[in-house]
Amino acid sequence: MRNINPLCLFSYPLFDQGILTIWTPNTLHKYTSVASHSDPFCQQISVLEVSIKNLGNTLPRDKTKANDKAALAANVLLGRLPNLVSLRIDFEELSITNTRRMFHGLLLPNLTGFFTNTLPHSALTNFIIHHPQLTALTLGPSPKCLRSSQGCPLKKCSPIQTLIEIEGPSKCAARLIGPQTSRIAALWSGSADDHQDLFARAATVQPPIQSVLRFIDIVFTGFCESLLNNIAQAAPSVTTLRLRELGAGAVTVCRYHTFRIRVMLTLS
């Protein structure tokens, strides 16, 4: 898939390969206006990437208005893209309430990939429930899940039967693993997290995924032998294992260990 210079998007009447990339609030509102008046434009978009770091206002009252406008614009735009296959969306400043508004009433029948690193899990539950056809899913860290005594709200979701690959905090992603999941990238969820929820889920999925799960990427802290033992028991058919150890201050730029499963079993 070829990268597109966002500065040149308006010079692409059909947008190369059906990809639309949005990096600013102004561009979001412009394309929402275009989508509201052009069915041919809407029909051709299969990949949408939205990455807005700053909604453009600093005063609290202005920021609230910018939140509201961004959520409404994104909701209108998404609702006009019936052929959307892949959605990557990140708003670093969008509130939980407006994230829910952004996804309210949306049903994207062709969507198979959903990726976000910033949106709160509590605002994603209904969207994921209404898109059980997902094959690839990325979830970012969710500090509120760690602080909540009730855990991640995504536990309300059923396992995604079509899901092939998932990336996200271990405790949050565990519930979503389905019988076709072959790739798991598990982020570190907290100081006490040893990925037990993930391993327990992988070992009990029905139909079993032990013969399907081939790739595991684990972010960990405080390496111990039980980690390898748990992986070996939950996923004996894994062919590639990547272990990433967190350093001081929970910075993920530490040691990388990639094993073939035969070596892992020998070590454990």
User: Which of helix, strand or coil describes residue 4?
Assistant: coil
Residue 189 to residue 100: CA distance in whole angstroms: 23
Helices (H), the chain: 25-37, 39-44, 60-79, 96-103, 125-129, 143-147, 170-173, 196-204, 225-234, 261-267
Each residue's pLDDT, cut to its tens digit, for the chain (268 residues) gives 334 333 333 434 435 568 999 999 999 999 999 999 988 889 999 999 999 987 765 556 677 788 889 999 999 999 999 999 999 999 987 889 999 999 999 999 999 999 999 999 999 999 999 999 999 999 998 767 766 657 788 988 999 999 999 999 988 999 999 999 999 999 876 655 668 888 888 888 888 888 899 999 988 876 667 778 888 888 888 888 888 877 644 434 334 444 444 434 333 3
Enumerate residues 6+ apart whose C-beta is below 8 A from 106.
75, 78, 79, 127, 130
Strand pairing of 240-245 and 256-260?
Answer: antiparallel
